[in-house]
């Protein structure tokens, strides 16, 4: 229960901090933080939580990461369902809190509510295929960073830094394409509160692509990280 609670609150912080920065601060007139600010917000949530709860649950905060770590031999398959449920519930709770905050503005309209999408729901108008490739590749690289940074041969105590900065870089690259998911829980947590049904109708891609990418990243690291090769 300690681990599941840590994953719940850790994912809550990731969605509240990352998506909250996009909804509340990104487009603020003249002082908005923009794509760069949102990218750093996501990275900082992971960095801070990795130090806060990494010693409790491993700080996955992401179903795709949990699956990838399982494939990579770093996480027990028996714990996977509980972790995924805790992460999704934490993301939904954060989406709800963010909605309550954002709706206090006089002219509030949920709009996309920091949800992920492709086609006309992509920030840059990118196609479904572009979104699929982007999410698979970015998640694969994220798992590569995570597995490398947490390898027993890596410098101890520094893993949260490259992992947080890695997520920042991923957002800097891919916000224009999909609004950056690489995390099915993050996508689900805000899709439930977005206007219309577009975010929910496209949510399947932001479950499938990150999980496929995570598996690829884990398999690649198992090959290149194996000392026998």
pLDDT at residue 229 is higher than 70:
no
pTM value? 0.94
Q: What is the pLDDT of residue 105?
A: 87
Q: What is the CATH number of domain 2-224?
A: 1.20.1080.10
With 0-12 CB in 10 A as exposed, 13-18 as middle and 19+ as buried, what is 188?
A: buried
Q: Determine contact, residues 213/182, Cβ cutoff 8 Å.
A: yes
Q: Determine contact, residues 117/190, Cβ cutoff 8 Å.
A: no
Residue ranges in the chain assigned as alpha helix (H): 2-20, 34-57, 63-71, 80-102, 128-149, 160-178, 184-191, 198-201, 205-224
Give CA–CA dist 202/32, Å, rounded: 28
Per-residue pLDDT tens over the stretch 29-86 = 778 999 999 999 999 999 999 999 999 999 999 999 999 999 999 999 999 999 999 9
Least confident span in 85-89, 152-156, 187-191: 152-156
Per-residue pLDDT tens over the stretch 156-187 = 889 999 999 999 999 999 999 999 999 999 99
Q: What is the pLDDT of residue 227?
A: 66
Give CA–CA dist 219/204, Å, rounded: 23
Q: What is the pLDDT of residue 211?
A: 98
Exposure string (b/e) for 14-27, b if CB count within 10 Å is 16 or more? bbbbbbbbbbbebe
Per-residue pLDDT tens over the stretch 91-122 = 999 999 999 999 998 888 778 899 999 999 99
* Domain range summary for the chain, segments of one domain joined by +: 2-224
């Amino acid at each position: 229960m300690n681990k599941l609670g840590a994953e719940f609150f850790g994912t809550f912080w990731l969605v509240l901090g990352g998506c909250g920065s996009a909804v509340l601060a990104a487009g603020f007139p003249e002082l908005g933080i923009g794509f760069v600010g949102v990218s750093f917000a996501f990275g900082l949530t992971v960095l801070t939580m990795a130090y806060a709860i990494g010693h409790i649950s491993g700080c996955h905060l992401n179903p795709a990461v949990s699956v990838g770590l399982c494939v990579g031999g770093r996480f027990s398959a028996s714990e996977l369902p509980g972790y995924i449920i805790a992460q999704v519930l934490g993301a939904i709770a954060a989406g709800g809190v963010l909605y309550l905050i954002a709706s206090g503005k006089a002219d509030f309209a949920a709009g996309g509510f920091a949800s992920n999408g492709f086609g006309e729901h992509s920030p840059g108008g990118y196609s479904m295929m572009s979104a699929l490739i982007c999410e698979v590749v970015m998640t694969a690289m994220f798992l590569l960073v995570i597995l490398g940074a947490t390898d027993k041969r890596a410098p101890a105590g520094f893993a949260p830094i490259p992992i947080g900065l890695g997520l920042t870089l991923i957002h800097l690259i891919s916000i224009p394409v999909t609004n950056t998911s690489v995390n099915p829980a993050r996508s689900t947590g805000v899709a439930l509160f977005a206007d219309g049904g577009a975010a929910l109708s496209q949510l399947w891609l932001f479950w499938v692509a990150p999980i496929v990418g995570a598996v690829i990243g884990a398999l690649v690291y198992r090959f290149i990280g194996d000392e026998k090769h």
